[in-house]
Amino acid sequence: MSSPMKTKIDFLIERVQKQNPSANVKKIRAAYECAAAAHEGQKRRNGEPYIIHPVAVAEIIVEMGLDTDSICAGLLHDCIEDTEFGYREIENKFGTSVAELVDGVTRLGMLRYSKEQEQMEDLRKMFMAMAKDIRVILIKLADRLHNARTFQFLPERKQRDKALETMEIYAPIAHRLGMSRIKWELEDLCLRILDPIGYQEIVDGLQKQSDRYEEFLDHIKERISSKLNEAGIGHSISARVKHIYSIYRKMYAQHKTINEIYDICAVRVIVDSVADCYNVLGYVHDLYKPIPGRFKDYISTPKPNGYQSLHTTVIGRDGIPFEIQIRTEEMHKMAEYGVAAHWKYKQGLDKASNEQAFSWIRQLLEAQQDTEAEDFIKAIKVDLFADEVFVFTPKGDVVNMPAGATPIDLAYAIHSAVGNRMTGAKVNGRIAPIDSILKNGDIVEILTSKETHGPSRDWIKIVRTTEARNKIKQWFKKECREENIVKGHEDLDRELRANLLYNGFYENDEVIQNTLNKFSFANIDEMYAALGYGGITLTKVINKVKDEVGRMRRAAERVEKAEQLITQPQPVKKVRHSQSGVIVEGIDNCLVKFARCCTPIPGDDIVGFITRGYGVSIHRRDCVNVRINEDDKDRSRWVDCWWDEDLLERKCTFSTGLQISTRSRIGILSDIAVLLAQSKVNVRDMNARDLDDGYGVINVVIDVTGVKQLQHIMNRIKTTKGVVGVTRVTSDPHS
């Protein structure tokens, strides 16, 4: 290897050491040696030894401030593709992390830009890679930046293709990641290729005026600086002519010549605190007249890529406008290096900060979904994600699904065992219907249970992917359903007889139905099958049957004794607590609302319905709207619920409706109102109407702590003169 390169790598290592004393320079040097050996004899288009390129890329990566592994990957980035030194060798020598980075960069470079289609495919891959490891993108940007710096050595047509690709993919990505330095340089390098005449025109125009600009900016700097010194505000100030492509864009957008362009010059003031930013703004506006409507506060409202600054445009000497940017040091680093600032200024790369960076990128992508105008975003929205959707697992892995996929599809995409054990799903932390359509950026958590009786047959109709559909079908087949049914049937019958429940079970449809509902079986065969293969234990089923049969017996006794109060079966004890007062089977802390049709209160036997988007709706089990039919497609959305036992201590109240039938009598309404007031319950609503035949109906909505208090109140109402009967409202009074 020639000696100038040795010098270069020595210089690079020196710089790394200065920047980050804990960097592993031995590893970097070893990576260099490997790359140099691997590329030995290869030449770049301009005749230079090939190793110049990876070293230059590594230099850019060092400038970005990335970690040792990224620098090594930068040195080795062309090895997998172009040399004998492959993934395995890199992994053996430098570890999995470096190998993965190089591999990621290689894959990004694999698809060549030719037409729209490939370009989008490339983009797609980039985003996938980004979600896994942002460093892959940063290394690829460094690679492209060095290639762009040497575009002139390519054949002319290739120059244009590459420049176009860079302009349309790489520069916008740099922009989206807040890396303005790289973005500017890429844009200017590309413009020089794509419109050499326009580019030259601006360069010449700036050249001609350069003395004037320089003198103009020096004067401004001095004036602002001395004013701030006077005020005792520590600061640093710099001034520059804006980069060429931004002037170019303004010229074309506003149909103006370079001499007519506003704010070609920009002054930047960097201060210590946010408060000082606003102070400086005040002083600047004292010194120079601001142009109305040009003040932008990106501190209180950062740009989607995280950029923060105060911008104002003021009129300088001779009426020449210029822009002033005011920001803190921290904001400045963000503005220059964007996402890379994360590595540059927070040394070390622990898992937590990595995740932080990741969540930041995700927010950034989410924010971009409702940003306007930019072609880049349109491209993402219209083309990139038209037929696929990217969702995240709670761990942050990205999963690529076809558009329209549901949580069930995702569960089966993760693993068939996950799908077969799925009981529900949380989307962005909230319980969601298992048939909801997943959206880009959703964080989807699949809820599973070992005790589940496997997928529901309905899922076959719900799922979008053939993979999921096949796996579900396979499950049913594999589970030897018929045999399981026979076995489960026999086992259950034997156990029912042993517990003297056989007749109680089979002679009452309601007992059967409630038992099936309890465990979410669509029909009795499914329960037999589940019992057959052990998806549910006999004990569980028998206990439920016991409850149900007991309840039926009590109900029968109640009929005989005519006016006896309903005694509800004890809810299954759960040692969990909830905000809403209701515990939903298998789901913690979900959004719960109480159905208006039956207004359940503590003590009622309840059941929940997973709505589309409003959490779980709680009904009384005997509500007319609770129709858990086996062939209903919504069957799987009914879930078991219990009241939180903590409620009694908390003395929460719940609204519920009563309907009182009366013989029309003057004063009955006020009698009942007085009675309710004496009972110390809050009355939310009360109205009365007369029926034709001398009878009337009073509807009240009151707040009670539970069934016990309600029964007490109902008994008192019943004994009021003129009251014929009182019942709880079980159907929506508005329907």
Pairwise CA distance, residues 40 & 332, whole Å: 41
Pairwise CA distance, residues 279 & 529, whole Å: 75
Stretch that binds Mn ion, among 75-83, 215-223, 265-273, 632-640 (CB under 5 A): 75-83
The contacts of residue 302 (CB under 8 Å, 6+ apart) are 308
Q: How far is the CB of 32 from Mn ion (least distance, A)?
A: 15
Q: How far is the CB of 159 from Mn ion (least distance, A)?
A: 16
- Closest to Mn ion by CB, 78 or 458: 78
Stretch that binds Mn ion, among 74-82, 335-343, 459-467, 479-487 (CB under 5 A): 74-82
Stretch that binds Mn ion, among 30-38, 78-86, 286-294, 589-597 (CB under 5 A): 78-86
59 counts as binding Mn ion under rule CB under 5 A: no
On whether the CB atoms of residues 475 and 416 are closer than 8 A, the answer is yes
- Closest to Mn ion by CB, 139 or 380: 139
Stretch that binds Mn ion, among 141-149, 273-281, 544-552, 618-626 (CB under 5 A): 141-149
Q: What does residue 589 show for φ and ψ, rounded to 5 degrees? A: 50, 45
- Closest to Mn ion by CB, 78 or 479: 78
Q: How far is the CB of 173 from Mn ion (least distance, A)?
A: 16
Q: Which residue is nearest to Mn ion (CB)?
A: 143
Stretch that binds Mn ion, among 137-145, 280-288, 489-497, 574-582 (CB under 5 A): 137-145
- Closest to Mn ion by CB, 143 or 168: 143
Pairwise CA distance, residues 534 & 724, whole Å: 52
- Closest to Mn ion by CB, 81 or 685: 81
Pairwise CA distance, residues 501 & 546, whole Å: 7
Q: How far apart are the first and last CA of the chain?
A: 87
- Closest to Mn ion by CB, 5 or 403: 5
Q: How far is the CB of 54 from Mn ion (least distance, A)?
A: 7
> Tokens at residue 352, please?
């937590």
- Closest to Mn ion by CB, 78 or 640: 78
At residue 423, what is the residue type? T
Q: How far is the CB of 178 from Mn ion (least distance, A)?
A: 23
The contacts of residue 298 (CB under 8 Å, 6+ apart) are 307, 308, 309, 310, 311
Judged by CB under 5 A, the number of residues near Mn ion is 2
Pairwise CA distance, residues 452 & 445, whole Å: 17
Q: How far is the CB of 169 from Mn ion (least distance, A)?
A: 15
Q: How far is the CB of 82 from Mn ion (least distance, A)?
A: 9
- Closest to Mn ion by CB, 53 or 544: 53
Stretch that binds Mn ion, among 72-80, 148-156, 184-192, 586-594 (CB under 5 A): 72-80
Pairwise CA distance, residues 130 & 562, whole Å: 71
On whether the CB atoms of residues 675 and 720 are closer than 8 A, the answer is yes
- Closest to Mn ion by CB, 143 or 323: 143
103 counts as binding Mn ion under rule CB under 5 A: no
What DSSP assignment string belongs to 626-676? ----TT-TTGGGEEEEEE-TTHHHHT--EEEEEEEEEE--TTHHHHHHHHH
- Closest to Mn ion by CB, 67 or 78: 78
143 counts as binding Mn ion under rule CB under 5 A: yes
The contacts of residue 118 (CB under 8 Å, 6+ apart) are 111, 112
Catalytic residue among 10, 14, 33, 81: 81
Q: How far is the CB of 429 from Mn ion (least distance, A)?
A: 41
Stretch that binds Mn ion, among 83-91, 140-148, 559-567, 588-596 (CB under 5 A): 140-148
Does residue 727 sit in helix, strand or coil?
A: strand
Catalytic residue among 14, 33, 40, 82: 82
> Tokens at residue 100, please?
């993965």
Pairwise CA distance, residues 601 & 455, whole Å: 32
Pairwise CA distance, residues 270 & 672, whole Å: 73
Q: How far is the CB of 338 from Mn ion (least distance, A)?
A: 21
Q: How far is the CB of 57 from Mn ion (least distance, A)?
A: 6
Residue selected from 59, 67, 69, 78 as contacting Mn ion according to rule CB under 5 A: 78
Buried b (16+ CB within 10 A) or exposed e, 302-330: bbbbbbbbbbbbbebeeeebbbbbbbbee
**What is the DSSP secondary structure assignment for residue 263, as one 8-state letter?**
-
Give Cα 526 to chain centroid, integer Å.
36
On whether the CB atoms of residues 82 and 42 are closer than 8 A, the answer is yes
Pairwise CA distance, residues 565 & 43, whole Å: 94
Residue 632 among the catalytic residues: no
Pairwise CA distance, residues 371 & 300, whole Å: 17
Residue 82 among the catalytic residues: yes
Length of the chain: 735
- Could you list the residues that contact Mn ion (CB under 5 A)? 78, 143
Q: Which residues are catalytic?
A: 81-82
